[in-house]
């Protein structure tokens, strides 16, 4: 056995011979803690797991973070973490309370995938190989790398919290082997197609979709939008709050989600007509099914599909008469409709920082990850500009000599 690890056999095991258990031995690793003036032990089902823990524990001892193992299981810790996050005592990495929808998603991932595999292990007992085994099984089941990463998000958050509170010494969710996958291109509805889609809808629905296409608001932001946040005089829309399906009105997604968006002329026409026909003002919900009740996304989607299906049916009939292939409408949902606004900003020459601000992205990295391929310029143009710049600089240096 490696140093600091011993094999332990169960007393009375029917398969024991000469004092050695031949069926289920355990492996106990120990490390002396100078801070606690005692030896800290942990038991594992395999020698490799015990060896891995001892390596981590020795490293933790050098950094001064070695502590007596906490008997709390991953399941118990996850339940406590969710409760603290719901109360606002635990916050996300930006220091903001977790959105209710995020915590619902986290609970689903924990209950569906993480806890059935790791829930009964002690929080400090989970090793990187345990999490990697979970990753490998999810990938083998055909799940995408991005899906696997999202599945592990609540476990990562749990261990970040546990590390800071010295409940564990090491983080088993770090340095996992998850293949990178190529980011697929996003489907963008052009402004002319967006107009066709909007005009095919019932009059009452048009302003909602026009604001998604031409102002880039998220679904929750559309649900919570009040009339007073639409400033027709200044041609601006103030995004100040969002809507959660269970919690109701909530703070927007992040600090950068609170923003002011330019009100484009094409959108003004739809909003003017909508506000005039509904008679809504002040704190009334701009797009709610009533002045105080937000629209129901599934109901909106059903009416939208029905209207677009009618347009497609007419197009099929016309194409059949004319002997051509029908051109059918795309089927965007409210969130992808934001891409139209972003692509319009970029095509109009707005700089990346302005696109980030108007879209409410948390960082410029998010903007480039999502829309970087739309910004003008390529390698050849960059090379030409750099050559011209350096040529002028070097000629100036030569002339000065």
Classify 91 as helix, strand or coil: strand
What average pLDDT score do residues 311-331 get?
94
Tell me the Cα Rg of the chain. 29
Q: Note down the domain range covering 45.
A: 5-63
Nearest to 134 by CA among 78, 178, 171: 178
Please check whether residues 213 and 313 belong to one and the same domain. Answer: yes
Does residue 265 sit within a domain? yes
Please check whether residues 327 and 343 belong to one and the same domain. Answer: no
pLDDT confidence band for 381 (50 / 70 / 90)? low
Most confident listed range (165-174, 371-380, 386-395): 165-174
Q: Would the pLDDT of 39 be above 70?
A: yes
Please check whether residues 202 and 289 belong to one and the same domain. Answer: yes
Please check whether residues 238 and 344 belong to one and the same domain. Answer: no
Does residue 296 sit within a domain? yes
> What Å distances lie between residue 284 and 224, 228, 276, CA to CA?
10, 8, 13
> What's 287's DSSP letter?
S
Does residue 178 sit within a domain? no
Does residue 173 sit within a domain? no
Does residue 393 sit within a domain? no
pLDDT of res. 227: 97
Q: Which of 283, 303, 334 lies at the terminal end of a domain, its last residue?
A: 334
**pTM exceeding the 0.75 threshold for the entire prediction:** no
Does residue 382 sit within a domain? no
Q: Which residue has the higher pLDDT, 224 or 24?
A: 224
Please check whether residues 323 and 201 belong to one and the same domain. Answer: yes
> What Å distances lie between residue 367 and 70, 102, 215, 343, 357, CA to CA?
42, 21, 16, 11, 9
Taking the C-alpha atoms of residue 214 and residue 217, their distance in angstroms, rounded to an integer, is 9
Task: Check if the beta carbon of residue 355 is closer than 8 Å to that of residue 367.
Answer: yes
Give me the number of domains the chain comprises: 4
Does residue 139 sit within a domain? yes
Does residue 175 sit within a domain? no
Taking the C-alpha atoms of residue 111 and residue 132, their distance in angstroms, rounded to an integer, is 18
Would you mind telling me the total number of residues written for the chain in this entry?
A: 401
Q: Within 10 Å of residue 89's Cβ, how many Cβ atoms?
A: 10
pLDDT (tens digit per residue) in 242-273: 999 888 998 877 788 899 999 999 999 999 99
> What Å distances lie between residue 339 and 28, 32, 45, 119, 266, CA to CA?
56, 57, 51, 39, 16
Q: Which residue has the higher pLDDT, 139 or 170?
A: 139
pLDDT (tens digit per residue) in 71-127: 689 999 999 999 999 998 998 887 888 889 899 999 999 999 999 999 998 898 888
Please check whether residues 305 and 198 belong to one and the same domain. Answer: yes
Q: Would the pLDDT of 387 be above 80?
A: no
pLDDT confidence band for 231 (50 / 70 / 90)? very high
Please check whether residues 48 and 104 belong to one and the same domain. Answer: no
> What Å distances lie between residue 288 and 192, 198, 278, 280, CA to CA?
26, 17, 10, 10
Please check whether residues 219 and 311 belong to one and the same domain. Answer: yes
Taking the C-alpha atoms of residue 315 and residue 311, their distance in angstroms, rounded to an integer, is 6
Taking the C-alpha atoms of residue 145 and residue 220, their distance in angstroms, rounded to an integer, is 27
For residue 248, which phi and psi values (nearest 5 degrees)?
85, -140
Please check whether residues 27 and 45 belong to one and the same domain. Answer: yes
Taking the C-alpha atoms of residue 107 and residue 109, their distance in angstroms, rounded to an integer, is 6
Q: Which residue has the higher pLDDT, 336 or 45?
A: 336
Please check whether residues 320 and 224 belong to one and the same domain. Answer: yes
Please check whether residues 266 and 305 belong to one and the same domain. Answer: yes
Q: Would the pLDDT of 25 be above 80?
A: no
Burial class (CB in 10 A: 0-12, 13-18, 19+), 149: middle
pLDDT (tens digit per residue) in 265-295: 999 999 999 999 999 999 999 999 999 999 9
Please check whether residues 143 and 120 belong to one and the same domain. Answer: yes
- Could you write out the DSSP letters of every residue in 5-40? EEEE--TT-TTEETTEESS--EEEEEEEETTTTEEE
Classify 292 as helix, strand or coil: coil
Helices (H), 72-218: 74-87, 100-109, 115-118, 128-140, 145-164, 191-199, 203-215
pLDDT of res. 62: 79
């Amino acid at each position: 056995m490696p140093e600091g690890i011993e094999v332990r056999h169960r007393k009375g095991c029917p398969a024991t011979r000469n004092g050695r258990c031949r069926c289920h031995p355990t492996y106990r690793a120990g490390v002396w803690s100078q801070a606690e003036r005692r030896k800290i032990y942990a038991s594992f089902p395999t020698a490799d797991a015990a060896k891995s823990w001892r390596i981590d524990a020795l490293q933790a001892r050098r950094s001064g973070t070695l502590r007596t193992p906490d008997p709390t299981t991953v399941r118990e810790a996850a339940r406590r973490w969710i409760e603290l996050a719901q109360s606002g005592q635990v916050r996300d990495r930006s220091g903001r309370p977790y959105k209710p929808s995020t915590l619902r998603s986290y609970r689903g991932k924990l209950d569906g995938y993480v806890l059935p595999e790791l829930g009964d292990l002690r929080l400090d007992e989970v090793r990187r190989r345990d999490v990697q085994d979970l990753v490998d099984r999810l990938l083998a089941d055909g799940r995408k790398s991005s899906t696997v990463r999202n599945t592990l998000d609540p476990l990562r958050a749990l261990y970040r919290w546990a590390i800071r509170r010295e409940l564990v010494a090491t983080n088993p969710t770090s340095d996992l082997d998850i293949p990178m996958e190529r980011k697929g291109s996003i489907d963008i509805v052009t402004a002319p197609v967006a107009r066709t889609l909007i005009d095919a809808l019932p009059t009452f629905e048009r302003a909602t979709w026009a604001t998604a296409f031409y102002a880039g608001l998220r679904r929750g932001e559309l649900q919570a939008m009040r009339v007073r946040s639409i400033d027709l005089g200044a041609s601006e829309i103030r995004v100040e709050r969002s809507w959660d399906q269970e919690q109701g009105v909530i703070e927007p997604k992040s600090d950068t989600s609170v923003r002011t968006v330019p009100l484009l002329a094409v959108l003004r026409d739809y909003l003017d007509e909508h506000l005039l026909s509904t008679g809504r003002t002040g704190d009334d919900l701009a797009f709610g099914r009533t002045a105080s009740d937000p629209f129901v996304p599934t109901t909106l989607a059903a009416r939208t599909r029905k209207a677009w299906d009618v347009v497609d049916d007419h197009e099929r009939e016309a194409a059949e008469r004319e002997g051509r292939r029908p051109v059918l409408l795309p089927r965007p949902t409210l969130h992808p409709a934001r891409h139209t606004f972003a692509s319009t900003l970029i095509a109009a020459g707005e700089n990346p920082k302005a696109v980030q601000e108007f879209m409410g992205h948390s960082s410029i990295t998010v903007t480039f990850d999502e829309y970087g391929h739309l910004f003008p310029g390529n390698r050849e143009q960059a090379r030409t500009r750099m050559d011209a710049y350096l040529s002028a600089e070097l000629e100036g240096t030569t002339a000065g000599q």
